[in-house]
Amino acid sequence: MEKQRVEKELLKFRDLVINESKQNLKRMNKIGKGTLLNSIKGTAKVSKNSIELNFSMEGYGVFQDQGVNGMSQHRNSPFKFRKGVPNKMMLQSLGVWMKAKGIQARSKDGKFKNSTGLKFAIARNIFKRGIKRSLFFTKPFMKAFKGLSNELIEAYGLDAKDMLSKQFDEMIKELNTTK
């Protein structure tokens, strides 16, 4: 199979996955500040005897896609919360999310107040119930994979499950090294 054709197929695959993933996020109203949406990227490289295809996004995108099992509610996810106490990064993220959604803490008389307690209450609810899986990335990936040329799949022995699993493992590894 000629290199230009393989590269064209991979670039088409990459662009389809990225565009549909972004459309899914918009449709699901999971945009917030748009950090996740703007972070979805991909690279494709064709060498003489191999191909390389990488996708990247903000680390929490994997958890939005695959969901997270809560402490009292199972979400059919490979991920779970290890402890019921939010870290500083989660509280900051909740603050950004609350601001984007227009959620602000108020006292009994209706005055605005510090939102730290509300952030902890939301975090406790997330730990308890988990995060529902959206598959905003997985569905476009699998759909685009089915559209790949059989010749390309056979020539490189590609397996969608292995490719997707490898992508998520790399994104999680990258997330863990940036902490």
Cα 29 from Cα 23, distance rounded (Å): 10
Q: What are the DSSP calls for 63-89, one per residue?
A: HHHH-EE-SSS--S-S-B-S-SS--HH
Its sign, for the CA torsion 57, 63, 179, 94, is positive
Query: Given pLDDT bands bounded at 50, 70 and 90, which one contains residue 1?
Result: low
* pLDDT reading at 179 higher than 80: no
* pLDDT over 90 at 60, yes or no: no
Q: At residue 128, what are phi and psi to the nearest 5 degrees? A: -70, -50
Q: pTM higher than 0.85, yes or no?
A: no
Contact (CB, 8 A) for 63 and 90:
no
pLDDT by residue (tens digit) across 75-87?
999 988 877 778 8
pLDDT digits (tens, 9 = 90+) for 117-130: 999 999 999 999 99
> Bridge-partner residues for 66, per DSSP?
none
